[in-house]
Structure 1
Amino acid sequence: MSLARSGIAAAALTALLAPAPQVAAQDAAALKKEMVGQWELATTERSKTCVIMMKGDATPQGLKLELEPGCAKALPFTKDITSWNIKGLDIVRLQDAAGQPVIDFTEVESGIFEGLRSGEGVYILQNLAAARSLAKSMDQMIGDWSMVRGNGQTVCGLTLTNTEATGDNFQVFLKPKCDPAVVAFAPNQWRLERGQMILMSAKGESWQFEADDNAQWRRVPDTADPLIMLRGQ
């Protein structure tokens, strides 16, 4: 290979491996644009919530935001939040007056961001309209349910409540004459999380159910003899 060709090949390889700052800037700019609007900051199952209006107007440290009056009482750390910004390609940062992070969020699903505060746990940042739709879904979950086999045989009756248990979980009660496998599991708490109904026991075990439709939830992973949750039977 000639020196000229060698030089061309090396230059091509360098260009191929080089980062694309313009694309990165476009990604960050697109995310910044998408974040302008009303968002709900909440614990994982919305037992404590705060509405944030994220704006596109610049501040000395980032971009403007407004927090609803009840935020500091519901989530005390929000009293330090004065602005927001995008860091890197995909980090949504809520920051203090010095521009330091109060909490950083990354997108885990379309329109749903998670952030972790050390010693406190995970918080969710979600479009306000979508979050209120989830709240309506949770309200619809309250009441009596039946757990049945795939053949329609009822194995247990349960009542899901909106009474707070531990963390962001709510109390669930078994009715008499449940199948021994359900009694052994002994769920006493439940929550909705990322489209799943999760039943939990005091022993730390959990069963996950995903919706087939508005009234039927199937245990996952699926099996040849599935367990299905049905409303009010």
Structure 2
Amino acid sequence: MSARIDLVLVLLLAGLVAPAGAQDVTTLKKDMIGQWELATTDRSKTCVVTMKGDTTPQGLRLELEPACATALPFTKDIVGWSIKGLGDIVRLQDAAGEAVIDFTEVETGIFEGLRTNEGVYILQNLAAARSLAKSMDQMIGDWSMVRGNGQAICGLTLTNTDAGNDNFQVFLKPKCDPAVAAFNPTSWRLEHGQIILMSTKGETWQFEADDNAQWRRVPDSADPLILLREQ
């Protein structure tokens, strides 16, 4: 074992192999090249950032669409990007190389950054962000909650009004089934292909799309609950 360690040390000193962290930096740098959406958590303000792999005196090259400065004023200071930490931080930086905002990956392809006194911002692959936005837009509107036999037990409206923490407001209509009224969801979100309804008590109901273009509550039961979009 000691001979193997000595060999690795020799190779490291000779520059013939890279330490594990260096490989992480290389991988993340490669993955970040392309177009990204920089946005507030509710996507009310967005900005397209194009990250490139070539080096400039201010870091790796990037381009911001012209509307960025108006939508997100702090982006005026961004002139480049780099990978920091142990290869796990994506930094959007100013001309001095200082962080304008640092991002860390919270889900595959989704990065989160915090600016003091401003809040959290999301950096996400542009195509994925626009696909999610389109899916969200399709969810907004009036829905009926029905049992497996087709009996309607509640009406509800999914909105795009920000409810905080990447959630949006939902409103129940009058005369809902007592079980739904007791649950009383006040917010919702679309996550990993599921509609998630949430109450102020922290309870959640998850619904997944089935083969009949309906959304069934999961886990399934003998008396399922189904969400149907009202026409």
Q: Shared fold by TM > 0.5?
A: yes
Contact 2:136 2:190 in 1 (8 A): yes
Match of 2:101 in 1: 103
Alignment match, 2:30: 33
The alignment partner of 1:72 has SS state of: helix
* Distance in 2 of aligned mates of 1:105 and 1:194: 21
- Residue aligning to 2:44: 47
**Shift of residue 54 of structure 1?**
1.0
The within-5 A match list for 1:1-233 is 9-12=1-4, 21-87=18-84, 88-149=86-147, 152-162=150-160, 164-167=161-164, 168-201=166-199, 203=200, 205-213=202-210, 215-219=213-217, 222=219, 224=221, 226-232=224-230
Between the aligned partners of 1:12 and 1:116, the Cα distance in structure 2 is 43
Deviations, residues 97-140 of structure 1 (Å, cap 9, x unaligned): 22122222222333222223344443221111111111110111
Residues of 2 paired with 1:122 and 1:107: CA distance?
13
Partners in 2 of 1:210 and 1:120 — Cα distance?
Answer: 33
Please give the alpha-carbon distance, in whole angstroms, between the structure 2 residues aligned to 1:217 and 1:16: 55
Distance 1:80 1:223, change over 3 A: same
CA–CA distance in structure 2, aligned partners of residues 165 and 127 of structure 1: 22
DSSP-derived class of the 2:42 partner: coil
Structure 1: which 5+ residue stretches go unaligned? 1-8
Structure 1 residue 52, shift from structure 2 partner: 0.6
User: How far apart are 1:23 and its partner, in Å?
Assistant: 4.0
Distance of aligned partners of 1:93 and 1:219 in 2 relative to their CA distance in 1, 3 Å threshold: farther
Task: Please say if residues 154 and 176 of structure 2, whose CA atoms lie closer than 8 Å, have aligned partners that are also in contact.
Answer: yes
Query: Secondary structure of the residue that 1:25 maps to in structure 2?
Result: helix
Q: Secondary structure at the match of 1:124?
A: strand
Q: TM-score, structure 1 length as denominator?
A: 0.78
Total equivalences in the alignment:
222
Contact kept, 8 Å, 2:42 with 2:162, in 1: the verdict is no
Letter in 2 for 1:100: E
Question: How many angstroms apart in 1 are the aligned matches of 2:214 and 2:42?
Answer: 21
Q: Which amino acid aligns with 2:180?
A: V
Once residues 79 and 105 of structure 1 are traced to their aligned partners in structure 2, the CA distance between those partners, rounded to angstroms, is 17
AA in 1 matched with 2:40: T
Distance 1:79 1:181, change over 3 A: farther
Residue by residue over 1:71-98, the C-alpha shift from the partner in whole angstroms, topping out at 9 and shown as x without a partner, is 2332233222221111222221111222
Tell me, in whole angstroms, the C-alpha distance in 2 between the residues paired with 1:13 and 1:121: 46
Deviation per residue, 1:154-213 (Å, 9 max, x gap)? 331112233x24445443222222012322333333333444433344x35352424334
Cα distance change, pair 165–10 in 1 and its aligned pair in 2 (3 A): closer
TM-score by length of 2: 0.79
